[in-house]
Chains A and B, each alone.
Chain A
Amino acid sequence: MSILTVRDLATHFHTRDGIIRAVDGVSFDLAAGETLGIVGESGCGKSVTALTIMRLIPPETARIARGSVEFEGRELTRLSEEQMREIRGKSISMIFQEPMTSLNPVLTVGTQIAENVWRHTGVSKQQARERAQAMLDLVGIADSRRRLDEYPHQLSGGMRQRVMIAIALSCDPRVLIADEPTTALDVTIQAQILDLMLELKEKLGTAIIMITHDLGVVAETTQRVVVMYAGRKVEEAPVEELFARPLHPYTHGLMRAIPRLDADAETAGRRPRLKEIPGMVPRLDRPIAGCPFAPRCDFATERCRVEAPPLEDHGKGHLAACWETARVQAVAA
Chain B
Amino acid sequence: MVAVPSDAALDATNDTPSLAQRIWTPIRRNPTIFAGAVLLTILVSLAVFAPWLSVDPLKQNTINRLRPPSEKFWFGTDQFGRDNFARTLHGARVSLVVGITVAAISAVLGLALGILCGYFRRLDAVVMRVMDGIMAIPSILLAIALITLTRPGLFIVVVAIVIPEVPRVVRVVRAVVLSIRAQPYIESAIAGGTRGLKLMVRHILPNTLAPLIVQATYICAAAMLIEAGLSFLGAGVPLEIPSWGNIIAQGRSFFLRAPWCIFIPGAFLALTVLAVNLLGDGLRDRLDPRLARRM
Does the CB pair B203–A153 fall under 8 Å? no
B53 beta carbon closer than 8 Å to chain A: no
A56-B191 contact given A98-B184, A101-B183, CB 8 Å threshold: yes
Give the contacting residue for B289; candidates A102, A105, A115, A116; CB below 8 A: A105
Measured CA separation A89–B144 after assembly (Å):
55
Q: Which of these binds chain B: A80-88, A136-144, A242-250, A305-313?
A: A80-88
Identify the closest chain B residue to A87 (Cβ).
B193
Mask, A137-168, CB within 8 Å of B = 1, is 00000000000000101100000000010010
- A146 smallest CB distance to B (angstroms): 16
Identify the closest chain A residue to B188 (Cβ).
A102
- B146 smallest CB distance to A (angstroms): 37
Measured CA separation A87–B190 after assembly (Å):
11
Q: Which residues of A contact B289 (CB under 8 A)?
A: 105-106, 151, 153
Mask, B173-190, CB within 8 Å of A = 1, is 000000000011111111
Mask, A179-222, CB within 8 Å of B = 1, is 00000000000000000000000000000000000000000000
B195 beta carbon closer than 8 Å to chain A: yes
B202 beta carbon closer than 8 Å to chain A: yes
Give the contacting residue for A107; candidates B190, B193, B206, B290; CB below 8 A: B206
B192 beta carbon closer than 8 Å to chain A: yes
Does the CB pair A102–B184 fall under 8 Å? yes
Does the CB pair A106–B207 fall under 8 Å? yes
Task: Please indicate which of the listed interface residues B191, B207, B209 has the most CB atoms of chain A within 10 Å of its own CB.
Answer: B191
Q: Which residues of A contact B72 (CB under 8 A)?
A: none
B194 beta carbon closer than 8 Å to chain A: yes
Does the CB pair A90–B193 fall under 8 Å? yes
Does the CB pair B184–A101 fall under 8 Å? yes
- A98 smallest CB distance to B (angstroms): 5
Q: Which residues of A contact B193 (CB under 8 A)?
A: 85-90, 116, 119-120
B293 beta carbon closer than 8 Å to chain A: yes
Task: Please indicate which of the listed interface residues A85, A96, A106, A116 has the most CB atoms of chain B within 10 Å of its own CB.
Answer: A106
Identify the closest chain A residue to B191 (Cβ).
A94
- A22 smallest CB distance to B (angstroms): 17
* Main SS class of interface, B: helix
Q: Which residues of B contact A103 (CB under 8 A)?
A: 185, 188
Q: Which residues of A contact B189 (CB under 8 A)?
A: 104
A251 beta carbon closer than 8 Å to chain B: no
- Count of B residues near A, CB < 8 Å? 22
- A125 smallest CB distance to B (angstroms): 13
Q: Which residues of A contact B183 (CB under 8 A)?
A: 101
A154-B185 contact given A107-B203, A119-B194, CB 8 Å threshold: no
Measured CA separation A55–B290 after assembly (Å):
34
Does the CB pair B192–A102 fall under 8 Å? no
- B187 smallest CB distance to A (angstroms): 7
Q: Which residues of B contact A88 (CB under 8 A)?
A: 190-193
A104-B203 contact given A86-B193, A116-B192, CB 8 Å threshold: yes
A93 beta carbon closer than 8 Å to chain B: yes
Measured CA separation A164–B184 after assembly (Å):
12
Measured CA separation A124–B192 after assembly (Å):
18
Within 8 A of A (CB), among B68-82: none
Task: Please indicate which of the listed interface residues B193, B195, B209 has the most CB atoms of chain A within 10 Å of its own CB.
Answer: B193
Q: Which residues of A contact B190 (CB under 8 A)?
A: 56, 88
Give the contacting residue for B195; candidates A85, A94, A102, A115; CB below 8 A: A85
Identify the closest chain B residue to A152 (Cβ).
B185
Within 8 A of B (CB), among A44-59: 54, 56
Measured CA separation A164–B190 after assembly (Å):
14
Measured CA separation A222–B191 after assembly (Å):
23
Measured CA separation A116–B192 after assembly (Å):
7
Within 8 A of A (CB), among B249-295: 289-290, 292-293
Identify the closest chain B residue to A106 (Cβ).
B206
Measured CA separation A216–B188 after assembly (Å):
26
- A164 smallest CB distance to B (angstroms): 7
Mask, B221-237, CB within 8 Å of A = 1, is 00000000000000000
Does the CB pair B185–A102 fall under 8 Å? yes
Q: Which residues of A contact B206 (CB under 8 A)?
A: 104, 106-107
Does the CB pair A101–B185 fall under 8 Å? yes
Does the CB pair A56–B202 fall under 8 Å? no
Give the contacting residue for A153; candidates B184, B194, B290; CB below 8 A: B290
Closest 3 CB pairs of A and B: A89-B192, A88-B193, A89-B193
Residue contacts A-B, CB under 8 angstroms, 24 given:
A54-B191, A56-B190, A85-B193, A85-B194, A87-B193, A88-B191, A89-B191, A89-B192, A89-B193, A93-B191, A93-B192, A94-B188, A96-B187, A103-B185, A103-B188, A104-B203, A105-B207, A107-B203, A107-B206, A115-B194, A119-B193, A151-B289, A153-B293, A164-B188
Binding site for A on B (CB under 8 A): 183-195, 202-203, 206-207, 209, 289-290, 292-293
Known A104-B189, A153-B292; further 5 A-B contacts with Cβ < 8 A:
A89-B192, A94-B191, A96-B187, A104-B206, A107-B206
